[in-house]
Amino acid sequence: MKNLNFLFVFLIFIACSKDKQVEQALQENESIIGLNTFFQLGYGESALYLSDYCLDVSGLDSVKASSGIQIRQLDSVLIITQSLDANAMEALYLWKNGTASVIPVKRSLREKVDFIFNGHGNEFKSVQIKGSMNSWNVNSNEFLKEGGNYKTSFVLAPGDYQYKMVIDGKEISHDDNPDSISNGMGRFNQLLKVGSPETKELFIYAKRSLRRIEIKGLEEGVSAMALWNNIELPIVKEDVNYFIDIPSLAKDMKRSFIRVWAFDKSNISNDILIPLEYGSPLKAIADLVRSDKHALSLYNVFMDRFYDGDKSNNWPDTSGEVLPKANNMGGDIRGLIEKVDAGFFEELGVNTIWISPIVKNTDKPYGFWPDPKTKFSAYHGYWPVSFTLVDPRFGTAADLHELVDKAHTRNLNVLLDFVANHVHEEHPYYKAHPEVATDLYLPDGTLNTERWDDHRLTTWFDTFMPSLQLDKPEVYEMVSDSAVYWIEEYKLDGFRHDATKHVPEIFWRTLTRKLKERVIEKGTPIYQIGETYGTRELVASYVNSGQLDAQFDFNVYDACVSALVSEEGSFEDLSKAIKESLNYFGHHHLMGNITGNQDRARFISYAGGALNLSENAKKAGWTREVGVGDPVGYRKSKELMALVATLPGIPVIYYGDEIGSYGGNDPDNRKMMLFGKFAGPERDLRAATMDLLHFRNNSLPLIYGDFRVHVASQDLFVYSRNYLGRSVFIILNDSDSEQQVSFRPDADQTAIPEKTKKKRAISRIENHMISFKIPAHSFEIID
């Protein structure tokens, strides 16, 4: 790390010798694959697995740390503690033959927090709390009585934590705490606020200057770190300006990256990410390739409900126990091939197809819904009876080969939904080795089913779905081998991983290491995105160099739904949620921003009022026809699409959301996809989605840009994305009336045109303020 007060002469000396050092570092650290993600320190001691970052740990000469942290090494694990005077960012150096690869380390800001519930003279049999600080697990914390109070404690990072008190088994409001927030479902949760609400914001940005990068926003007394790939670069101060010289070696590489952070004792800035194209900052969209992960845009194809291209493999359950809504409907790989051939995905503006599981599933009905009575077929693909066979109801291995080949010809990626956590009870592996499953019954005799939080690593999803003991070597080695098989055999581009938080980390580490050794090291990039419902801390624990690239950001999605649907929600709350995710996952993260998914009722039905946020959406889908409701749902859906397409992260479109598919929860949210000519609002929503996705595909600020919020109120939201001096401004108005919006861009942001993209006149008022009128329930973009 370079302190910005280092002597200028010393920096010049380093700059002159850097190219030789960088070249040697790359040659000596070829076992480092990909960009080293930052490591987040926890409370007390933290364990870092060197194998997450380096394939050949034994080849390292040594591991050193910057002055604010201490390390001790136990084989390939580092035990890290931080000093009281540590910077907000420190560094680890993996040394080999005199050169080092850098792992950025984020200081832990977690602290012990005492929580007191005043009984006001009342005696209670049990006092419990559930909230975002304990994964909503009511049994996580024990309260001790002290006088008339009940006390427990948490170890938490600064932030706002939603919670509910549970007194003698009943949820109550915590009347002593006036801070509350909408839960997005028509009710309120209390807020536990940790840390000072006033924190200093460090914000840096980059400008291009010939073969140099100028870093703006650095201040005296603030330190900074700059990396080219994983190799540290000097930051050169000239007068009051700061520069990074691009290594000449970068000219020989199609893609490399420069990353920069600024930090002090308490704060870390946004991160700058600059992709290089043969040594020059990327400036042409045409130079992007489908393996550039930040440029991905996903479309979730729910295979059985997408398109039926081969009637011969339609085998719906005929037992009479399954209602049509819960039965196979005939969608298959052949149908998906037809839509690839027709250019469906390029026309919409997505470049990555995420297909639901196509592994062979049971052909018998299971499960039960009481009203109306029905079982379910395995149309969804999540009840596997094989690890490697394609389900004949979806097609053949040859069909899958053809799909991937044709997708790649059209520069489309294909991700496979992989189920590692569990199998179906008919799976031959489980039948032959029932001991590989976790226990169906807990020690107290209760069923270990749907215990999502208190027994998340062992719970069964249902009594016929054994969860595997994926912490056992014989199990995680075999299942991870089967996952790699799909990639190697079919040349797939990655995975969507089901039920990520229910799988031990050793499995994800084993799988990712095998992918690095057998696929990625040979030049084939792989993108892995997981599914975890829970706190950002839990979600982030699976996102790093040794595990997954990303997960879906359900927390931001919930905040979007609340802001656009709930009367209690606001864009101010959404802005806070986005910033919290940026703090956990980085400002240039690869997290998925979703329009919806197979486990949620359709957004448009909430937005139009056909569904209430507080009702049972699954029951609604079975007992009535859930439509759109008020047509304003289409306008709000456009707002959601605008957010998904322009926020940091990867857009993820759930099939049908682009035309306003409606419905309650599973299986009502899994209707057969509609194709053809759409009239009225469906056509307009699809056109808006296409415009937004194509605009993102052609906008480097939306792919690699910084993120700044300019206005965040109840109904107005204005933010910008900036890449090397070019800015895009996004404005949303979710009020019921036209609004005059005014905001002041940063001084160095691009000159503002005369009109918005929708041809609305832009006026300039005093102090460089920008002002124009925006209609109710709409969005606008200034480019």
- Give the Cα separation of 619 and 626 in Å (integer): 11
Q: Which of 539, 547, 415 is closest to 480 using CA atoms?
A: 547
The pLDDT of residue 90: 97
The pLDDT of residue 25: 53
What's the pLDDT tens digit per position in 610-626?
Answer: 999 999 999 999 999 99
Residue with tokens 């398109």: 307
pLDDT > 70 in the chain, percent? 95
pLDDT beneath 70, residues of the chain: 1-30, 184-186, 197-199, 210
What's the pLDDT tens digit per position in 154-208?
Answer: 999 888 889 999 999 999 989 899 988 877 666 789 999 988 755 678 999 999 8
Strand residues in 357-422 grouped as ranges (E):
366-370, 373-376, 413-418
- Rounded to 5°, the CA angle 394-395-396 comes to 140
Decide the pairing of beta strands 550-551 and 527-530: parallel
Residue 318 φ then ψ, to 5°: -115, 20
Give the torsion through C-alpha atoms of 294, 295, 297, 298, to 10 deg.
-60
- Give the Cα separation of 594 and 603 in Å (integer): 11
The pLDDT of residue 531: 98
Residues near 666 by Cβ (< 8 Å), separated by ≥ 6? 598, 599, 618, 621
CATH of 111-156+159-194, one of 2.60.40.10, 3.40.50.150, 3.90.550.10, 3.40.50.970: 2.60.40.10
Q: Is the peptide bond before 753 cis (omega within 30 degrees of 0)?
A: no
Q: Which amino acid is at 628?
A: V
Residues near 197 by Cβ (< 8 Å), separated by ≥ 6? none
What's the pLDDT tens digit per position in 387-401?
Answer: 999 999 999 999 999
Q: Please say whether the beta carbons of 780 and 639 come within 8 A.
A: no
The pLDDT of residue 181: 81
Q: Which amino acid is at 409?
A: T
Helix or strand (DSSP H, E) at 346: helix 344-348
Decide the pairing of beta strands 592-594 and 650-654: parallel
Q: Which pair of structure tokens corresponds to residue 396?
A: 């053949």
* Number of residues assigned to the chain: 783
The pLDDT of residue 200: 76
- Give the Cα separation of 569 and 589 in Å (integer): 25
Q: Which amino acid is at 253?
A: M
Count of C-beta atoms within a 10 Å radius of residue 268 = 22
The pLDDT of residue 159: 80
- Give the Cα separation of 629 and 631 in Å (integer): 6
The pLDDT of residue 5: 39
What's the pLDDT tens digit per position in 2-33?
Answer: 454 333 333 333 344 544 555 555 555 557 89
Q: Please say whether the beta carbons of 179 and 191 come within 8 A.
A: yes
- Give the Cα separation of 771 and 780 in Å (integer): 12
Residue with tokens 């910057």: 66
Q: Which CATH superfamily is domain 294-305+318-329+343-700 in?
A: Glycosidases (3.20.20.80)
Q: Where in the chain is the domain with CATH 3.20.20.80?
A: 294-305+318-329+343-700
What's the pLDDT tens digit per position in 544-565?
Answer: 999 999 999 999 999 999 999 9
Q: Which of 474, 483, 580 is closest to 526 using CA atoms?
A: 483
The pLDDT of residue 1: 59
Q: Where in the chain is the domain with CATH 2.60.40.1180?
A: 705-782
Q: Which of 748, 752, 741 is closest to 710 using CA atoms?
A: 741
Give the torsion through C-alpha atoms of 745, 751, 755, 758, to 10 deg.
-70
Q: Please say whether the beta carbons of 243 and 236 come within 8 A.
A: yes
Q: Which of 319, 306, 420 is closest to 353 using CA atoms?
A: 306
Q: Which of 265, 258, 242 is closest to 4 using CA atoms?
A: 242
Residues near 122 by Cβ (< 8 Å), separated by ≥ 6? none
What's the pLDDT tens digit per position in 297-356?
Answer: 999 999 999 999 999 999 999 999 999 999 999 999 999 999 999 999 999 999 999 999
Q: 72 pairs with which residues across the strands? A: 79
The pLDDT of residue 416: 98
- Give the Cα separation of 5 and 15 in Å (integer): 16
CATH number of 705-782: 2.60.40.1180
Q: Which pair of structure tokens corresponds to residue 120?
A: 């006001």
Q: Where in the chain is the domain with CATH 2.60.40.10?
A: 111-156+159-194
Task: Give 178: exposed, middle or buried? Use CB within 10 Å, 0-12, 13-18, 19+.
Answer: exposed
Q: Please say whether the beta carbons of 208 and 246 come within 8 A.
A: no
